[in-house]
Amino acid sequence: MLALQRHVHIAPASASLHRLVLALVLTLNRSRDSSSLMASVHQQMAVHRNRLQSYLQIPATGDDHAAIWTALSAGSLGLVLHDKDIISRRATLFSTKLPRPSASYNQFARQLYPLSRAASLPLNVDHSRKTIDYPHNLRKYAAVNHARLYKAYLELPSPFAQMTASDFEAFLDKFLHHKSNFVRPNIISESGIAGRPARIVSNAFEAMVSKRADYVKMVSRILNDMRANEIPLTLREQNQLIFLSFYKDKPEILTAIDEAMVPLSIDEVLSFHDAKLSAYAVFDWDVYLLIKLSFKFLPVDTYNILLFHAIRHDRPEIVADILKDLNLAHLSDPTLERTTPVFNSTTLRYLIDYFSAQKSPTALARSIDEVVNCNFPVDITLVNSIIKGLCNCNSPELAESLVNQLFIDGKASSTPEDEESVLYKLLTPEDRHVYNAMVRILENIGPITGESIPQYSLIPTEGSFRPIIRAICSPDSGQTYHKLLTLIDHMEHAHKLPITTRTVRSIMDKFTNDTSNQWTLQNLIEITSKIISVHDYTYNITRDTLVFSREDRPHLFERELSPKLQNFVKLHWKETKPLKLPIDRGTFLKLSDDVTNKIYQAFFATLNRQIRMEHQPNEIERLNKLVQSVQIQKASLQQELENTRNGKSGPHNLESARQDIYNNDELNYIKKGYLIDLIDIVSHD
């Protein structure tokens, strides 16, 4: 595997960043032979078990390991200690009021402890295989239907007087902290919005805002019921209410939404603009001060949430006040001396994202300096923020150097082929939930024991490479297709990371907007063939969606394949190496209409560039005819997709939702067939 970049030219302005990147690499490479994050957590908990039990006042029982895990993963140490006393008081309060058996309580319990069938493995999976339990159990036991659970809660005769302490704590935890789809649906994302009709985007946005508001109302009602019954709230619960109440989407997403609204009339755009403004609660200095003064004690977790909102709501004066309170003002003001700061990995991640978005390399460098010298292990999400931050501050060469030394030529040049490694790819909300919990545990054990926690090994995620891919694929990057392909192959073969929809969009945008004339038609054919192969592999949740299954491969030509399919297999089909992807993590590469359109746009743009560069009249005529053939083929695809969708319309219910899965399979099969046909057309015209 060739390094992405072995020699980096450093401009004087980047000297500080360059020095810090080298220091960070040196720090992280000390974990060359270290254990995984999970092994490190279990080791630290085992070694310091008695001390942790005593410190957290956890009784010595057969389940004390789980109790320590639950306590330390709730938040920062200050929050854990504060909330421990409140949870103990609540347990005493509920112990005097045992629930009576009733139909309503039984229904509540069924909704609170569902056994999700969606978390069960398909029948064609080897169940004897040893799998990682944490994310699977989280999906199986922590995933609840919030609407049904809330309805069952309202039907209890006397909610808190008729609930056990364990059920009450489980109810709050699941209802408040396991709403993974609160942030946004797939369509409302920076890449998901691109190319979609304005009305679809506006409808999706309005539906998202409505669902968020309904959920916040439910949470507020539950917490108000607690106050009415004089049941104390933990800081964790108050923090979550603040997070939900003032949540605002990223500026990049809001900009993408505004751009999608351009085709609408002026009146419609203004109306939508007003609706968008009213969708987000105001978070200004007065609101911030009111929240801040309402707390007798503010742990770093609360500051992190306030910092998150200050950044999202573009309130630099609030950011400055928080930095002052946490003794971090020197990050943005080089004239100030550093005092003993208060932060955790989440604080640093938010600040790195913030300063890099502000294009402030000095503040970014000072933030990275805090990472290098912090007294807790560095996790992969923090490293990913640094990589992205370097790219945002116009230092992609330093980001490449960091990725190269850590994940290509460095200690983690490949990801272990075991079931635990799937968790570290952070492909699902459950993976991220478990990962963040383990990060918090190690950050808390250090201060309790007074000992330094060794750096665990880091396994890269797609987010580790995505900023580099975007930098390579920027229109004027001057980077080569070979460099992109080398990086993608390393991701797939060394780290078992799939090509995602976002990656495909970036690649196709590069072919569409390239100004170097070095990204050729043959390159586009090659990467499109790879995309079809990877989609065929990663979409292997229902076997009938495969164009060619792995078992079918030796017998392909014994079947009655069309000449075009035979030709595609001979020239372009690439066997995809198993990526150690989880069976039930979903699909990472979606052939949406937008993605399919981007592929066609890339072919049109690449062919037109070739026409402009051509001087032979016969060749120009041939290429023009080829463009016309592709246009006809694309129109045929659009017509077939429209006919297929029109034939499947009907009422929306549970049965139609199940049918939608099969309809989507059919649409994917059609799109893959047309893309194969497209490759055949441009390859042999």
Q: What pLDDT, in 10s, does the model give residues 219-267?
A: 999 999 999 989 999 999 999 999 999 999 999 999 989 999 999 999 9
Q: What is the pLDDT of residue 123?
A: 37
**pLDDT attached to residue 114:** 85
pLDDT of residue 376: 93
Q: What percent of the chain has pLDDT over 90?
A: 56
Question: What is the predicted pLDDT for the residue at 349?
Answer: 98
**Contact of 407 with 495, CB cutoff 8 Å:** yes
Mean pLDDT value across residues 62-88: 91
pLDDT attached to residue 555: 42
Q: From CA 431, how far away is CA 429, in angstroms rounded?
A: 5
Helix residue ranges, H only, 393-500: 396-403, 420-423, 429-449, 462-472, 481-495
All residues at 6 or more sequence positions from 439 whose CB lies less than 8 Å from its CB, including other chains: 37, 345, 377, 379, 381
Mean pLDDT for the chain?
A: 84
Could you tell me how many residues make up the chain?
A: 685
DSSP structural state of residue 74: S
Amino acid 20 reads L
Spatial separation of the C-alpha atoms in residues 79 and 90, rounded to whole Å: 16
Closest C-alpha to 76, from 437, 371, 452? 437
Name residues whose C-beta falls within 8 Å of residue 84's C-beta, 6 or more positions apart in sequence. 56, 57, 71
- Region 343-361: what's the mean pLDDT? 96
Quick one: 635 exposed, middle or buried, by C-beta within 10 A (0-12, 13-18, 19+)? exposed
pLDDT at 326: 97
**Model confidence at 163, in pLDDT bands (50, 70, 90)?**
confident
Q: What pLDDT is attached to residue 13?
A: 45
Given a cut of 80, whether residue 184 has pLDDT beyond it is no
pLDDT of res. 35: 87
Identify the pLDDT of residue 668: 87
Q: Residue 6: is its pLDDT beyond 70?
A: no
Asked whether 492 and 577 are in contact (CB, 8 A), the reply is yes
Query: CA 561 from chain center: how many Å?
Result: 39
CB 440 within 8 A of CB 76: yes
Give the rounded distance of the alpha carbon of 548 from its chain centre: 30
The answer to whether residue 201 scores a pLDDT higher than 70 is yes
Residue 264 backbone class (left: φ over 0; alpha: ψ -120 to 50; beta: rest): beta
Cα(599)–Cα(604) distance, integer angstroms: 9
The most confident of 16-30, 431-445, 492-506, 550-564, by mean pLDDT:
431-445
More confident residue, 98 or 6: 98
Q: Is the pLDDT of residue 575 over 90?
A: no
pLDDT the model gives residue 139: 63
Choose the weakest-confidence range: 477-481, 491-495, 579-583.
579-583
Question: 496 to each of 26, 160, 520, 532, how far by Cα in Å?
Answer: 25, 48, 27, 17
Give the residue from 484, 512, 468 showing the smallest Cα distance to 607: 512
Of the candidates 316, 325, 324, 385, which has an alpha carbon nearest to the alpha carbon of residue 352?
385
pLDDT at residue 413 in the model: 62
pLDDT digits (tens, 9 = 90+) for 488-546: 999 988 898 888 888 999 999 999 999 888 899 999 999 999 999 888 877 664 344 44
Average pLDDT over residues 370-393: 96
Average pLDDT score over residue span 162-166: 85
Kindly report which listed range (127-136, 145-154, 615-624) carries the lowest average pLDDT score: 127-136
pLDDT at 112 over 70: yes
- Distance CA(638)–CA(630), nearest Å, equals 12
Model confidence at 33, in pLDDT bands (50, 70, 90)?
Answer: low
What mean pLDDT is predicted for residues 271-297?
A: 94
Confidence of residue 193 (pLDDT cuts 50, 70, 90): confident
CA–CA separation, 611 and 628 (whole Å): 13
| Range with the poorest average pLDDT among 155-159, 225-229, 265-269, 278-282 | 155-159
Residue entry with tokens 């029948």? 123
| DSSP calls for 375-388 | SSPPPHHHHHHHHH
The residue that leads in pLDDT, 136 or 406, is 406
CA distance 4 to 485: 11
Distance CA 262, CA 277 (A): 17
Where does the pLDDT of residue 486 fall: very low under 50, low under 70, confident under 90, or very high at 90 and above? very high
Please tell me the predicted confidence (pLDDT) of residue 20: 92
pLDDT value of residue 522: 94
- Name 627's Cβ contacts closer than 8 Å, sequence gap at least 6: 604, 607, 608, 611
